[in-house]
Amino acid sequence: MENHKNNIKCAYLLKGIPISPGIAISKVFVLQDEAVKIEPTVIDESQIEGEIDKFKQAVAKAKLELRTLQTRVAHRIGEENAKIFDVHQLLLEDSLIIEETISSIKREFKSADHAFYDTMEKFQHTLDDSSIDFFQSRIPDLKDIKKRVIKHIQGDRTDYLNKLEGSAVIVAIDLTPSDTVKLDRHKVRGFATDLGGRTTHVAIMARSMEVPAVVGLRRIARIVNEGDRIIIDGSKGHVLINPDEKTIQHYRKLREKYYDIETRLAEIRDLPCITLDGKEIELSANLEFSDEVESAKTHGARGIGLYRTDYIYLAGSALPTEDEQYHEYKKIVEKMTPEPVIVRTMDVGGDKQPKSFTIPPEENPFLGWRAIRISIERPDIFEVQLRAMLRASQHGNLKILLPMISGLEEIIECKAALERAKSELRKKKIPFDENVELGVMIEVPSAALLADKIAREVDFLSIGTNDLVQYLLAVDRGNERIAYLYKHLHPAVLRAIKQIIAAGHQEGVWVGMCGEMASDPLATLILLGLDLDEFSVTPTSVPEIKKIIRSVDYREAVRVANKALEFSKASEVERFMTKVMRQKFKDIKT
């Protein structure tokens, strides 16, 4: 592939959705789809029994999983459609498959996954060679069973991810939060995936790790090989595979330029976030992991506007204890004191599958049993977390934030749970901040419409645009195919935000934003003009957003916001804001 204008030469130049800025020049580490990556391993005689046992347990787990799936499918779309699972169950009981696998563990000293993989491949080839349609049509079933059992033998892909040696760019079809949570983050130079949109969790993760990332590349996982050279331009959404030396030099220069701008922005780190005419704005940072608190401080964030506690539930196979959580929260609160740290209660479900408890498969997980819905049903999880937060509150300025609230009933339930957690601590004479503030994320359209009533129940509101945009526009935030529809500058989104802020202020509570929209320089003047009180952004975006706020009059921002709200299309708002920003700022990456 050649691009004469920039003298770019490489085997492939792919364009995707830029989700985390910066330039990475590194080698590829391919994360295979599902768990079908087998590393042929020769085992010792002493390991044979253990491997056989592992295999048998994996088969049992796969059977159980299939039974649950079968019942659900039968219930939702009829017995006829559920019959396919009978075939899968039969395959799992096939004595030839079972015996052949066990025999190759025993005789050929293969690990369980390797032995099962080879057995299934052999069966597949026999069916492949058959001229009978019926047998050929069973091949997808064999493949499904192969993946399912191997997944259970290997545990999950995170173990494989741990094998990452040296630094690399992670390339995958998709990356789930459970995949990324165990990565050795010091070795990751960037991410490039086939699937995903601007606010998928890999995007949030990449920005918080301060590495460039491009998603929605559609075919990168198929065309790269492990060890290929790769360049990622996370600002433009370009990915180059096996570039020549001249191209690498060109990108090294671009990388230097990028860091120069970053350094200049860092100079305003300790200056207040205040407009030219004196309106002060709370500028804080979002945290994915507790160890990022330093990065938030070095980039000049005042407080933490959103600490996602989800990784605590995604990483370990046991539920986190009250003490473990208390120490984690206390660490952050103490480091930030006296500034606020807003800790969000567990927000798993959707694409975030915890390892510590099971969320049964659902047809619409983003509309399903997730976040606060789980917490309310599971006081054994929720109240443990609330007690840990309350205990940490005595060490500084901690506030509690509730995700995915869709109506008042949920808030009432959560307040009751908080009261129970408090009285439990009082009974044990454990100190906590009696006046700890409680806030609600406005990220479901029903909550946006009820913002005034919600505001009466709590101390603050925080707008979660990542979900609000997906639910308001009915656009899956992780689907690259419809990513062109996912627009936070959509007039309907702007109207909703205007209404939420006004409702909060009318009821006397402050309103912040912790969704990724707050980190978008194109949106800053609109949000400022709509009177948003707090911007909680990716740590690396703090200097850029501060620079914009420090360079304008609040009154000017109000004019810009009013004008932006007159447009009927997202594209018009984007064009208008790009023009405004280009005129005012040269450094800002619009």
Q: Which residues are catalytic?
A: 201, 514
User: Is residue 467 near Mg ion by the rule CB under 5 A?
Assistant: yes
- Contacts (CB under 6 A) with ligand PEP, residues 483-502: none
Question: Which stretches of 453-501 are assigned E, i.e. beta strand?
Answer: 460-463
Q: How far apart are CA 353 and CA 437, in angstroms?
A: 29
Closer to ligand PEP by Cβ: residue 30 or 204: 204
Closest separation in Å from C-beta 486 to ligand PEP: 12
Q: Cα dihedral angle (186, 192, 195, 197), rounded to 10 degrees?
A: 80
Closest separation in Å from C-beta 504 to ligand PEP: 16
Contact range with ligand PEP by CB under 6 A, out of 158-166, 213-221, 382-390, 462-470: 462-470
User: Is residue 464 near Mg ion by the rule CB under 5 A?
Assistant: yes
Closest separation in Å from C-beta 89 to ligand PEP: 36
> How far, CA to CA in Å, does 557 sit from each of 446, 506, 518, 574, 584?
28, 21, 15, 16, 12
Closer to ligand PEP by Cβ: residue 119 or 286: 286
> How far, CA to CA in Å, does 388 sit from each of 63, 231, 381, 424, 564?
38, 43, 11, 12, 43
List the single partner that 22 binds among ligand PEP, Mg ion, none, CB under 5 to 8 Å by kind: none
User: Is residue 464 near ligand PEP by the rule CB under 6 A?
Assistant: yes
Contact range with ligand PEP by CB under 6 A, out of 51-59, 185-193, 374-382, 460-468: 460-468
- Pick from 295, 465, 538, 540: which binds ligand PEP (CB under 6 A)? 465
Which residue in this structure is represented by tokens 């807003």?
Answer: 342
For residue 38, which phi and psi values (nearest 5 degrees)?
Answer: -110, 130
- Contacts (CB under 6 A) with ligand PEP, residues 234-273: none
Q: Cα dihedral angle (221, 226, 231, 236), rounded to 10 degrees?
A: 10
Contact range with ligand PEP by CB under 6 A, out of 92-100, 444-452, 458-466, 537-545: 458-466
Closer to ligand PEP by Cβ: residue 113 or 443: 443
Helix 542-550 to helix 245-266 angle, to the nearest 10 degrees? 50
> What's the sign of the alpha-carbon dihedral 560, 562, 563, 564?
positive
Closer to ligand PEP by Cβ: residue 105 or 372: 372
User: Is residue 466 near ligand PEP by the rule CB under 6 A?
Assistant: yes
Closest separation in Å from C-beta 306 to ligand PEP: 6
List the single partner that 312 binds among Mg ion, ligand PEP, none, CB under 5 to 8 Å by kind: none
Task: Count Cβ atoms below 10 Å from residue 397 Cβ, excluding itself.
Answer: 18
- Pick from 443, 480, 534, 556: which binds ligand PEP (CB under 6 A)? 443
* Three-state SS at 286: strand
Residue 418: burial class (beta carbons within 10 Å; 0-12, 13-18, 19+)? buried
Closest separation in Å from C-beta 352 to Mg ion: 10
* Three-state SS at 426: helix
Closer to Mg ion by Cβ: residue 40 or 407: 407
Size of the site for ligand PEP (CB under 6 A): 12
- Contacts (CB under 6 A) with ligand PEP, residues 322-381: 347
List the single partner that 308 binds among Mg ion, ligand PEP, none, CB under 5 to 8 Å by kind: ligand PEP
> How far, CA to CA in Å, does 394 sit from each of 113, 496, 497?
50, 36, 33
List the single partner that 514 binds among Mg ion, ligand PEP, none, CB under 5 to 8 Å by kind: ligand PEP
Strand partners, 192: 171, 214
Size of the site for Mg ion (CB under 5 A): 3
Question: Which stretches of 32-167 are assigned E, i.e. beta strand?
Answer: none
Sheet containing 168-172: order of strands? 2-3, 8-15, 238-243, 229-233, 23-31, 168-172, 188-193, 213-215, 17-20
Token pair listed for 471: 């639910």
- Contacts (CB under 6 A) with ligand PEP, residues 10-69: none
List the single partner that 16 binds among Mg ion, ligand PEP, none, CB under 5 to 8 Å by kind: none
Contact range with Mg ion by CB under 5 A, out of 48-56, 350-358, 457-465, 556-564: 457-465
Task: Count Cβ atoms below 10 Å from residue 187 Cβ, excluding itself.
Answer: 14
Token pair listed for 399: 């506030």
User: Is residue 197 near ligand PEP by the rule CB under 6 A?
Assistant: no
Show the CA angle centred on residue 448, arms to residues 446 and 449, nearest 5°: 65
User: Is residue 292 near ligand PEP by the rule CB under 6 A?
Assistant: no
Helix 112-129 to helix 95-108 angle, to the nearest 10 degrees? 130
User: Is residue 515 near ligand PEP by the rule CB under 6 A?
Assistant: yes
Closest separation in Å from C-beta 347 to Mg ion: 6
Closest separation in Å from C-beta 307 to Mg ion: 13
Closest separation in Å from C-beta 460 to ligand PEP: 14
Closer to Mg ion by Cβ: residue 26 or 199: 199
User: Is residue 73 near ligand PEP by the rule CB under 6 A?
Assistant: no
Q: Cα dihedral angle (255, 295, 518, 487), rounded to 10 degrees?
A: 50
User: Is residue 309 near ligand PEP by the rule CB under 6 A?
Assistant: no
Closer to Mg ion by Cβ: residue 371 or 564: 371
With beta carbons less than 8 A apart as the criterion, state whether 538 and 286 touch: yes
Closer to ligand PEP by Cβ: residue 282 or 347: 347
With beta carbons less than 8 A apart as the criterion, state whether 367 and 381 touch: no
- Contacts (CB under 5 A) with Mg ion, residues 407-446: 443
Closer to ligand PEP by Cβ: residue 308 or 355: 308
Closer to ligand PEP by Cβ: residue 400 or 552: 400
Q: Which residues bind Mg ion (CB under 5 A)?
A: 443, 464, 467
Q: Which residues bind ligand PEP (CB under 6 A)?
A: 199, 204, 306, 308, 347, 443, 464-467, 514-515
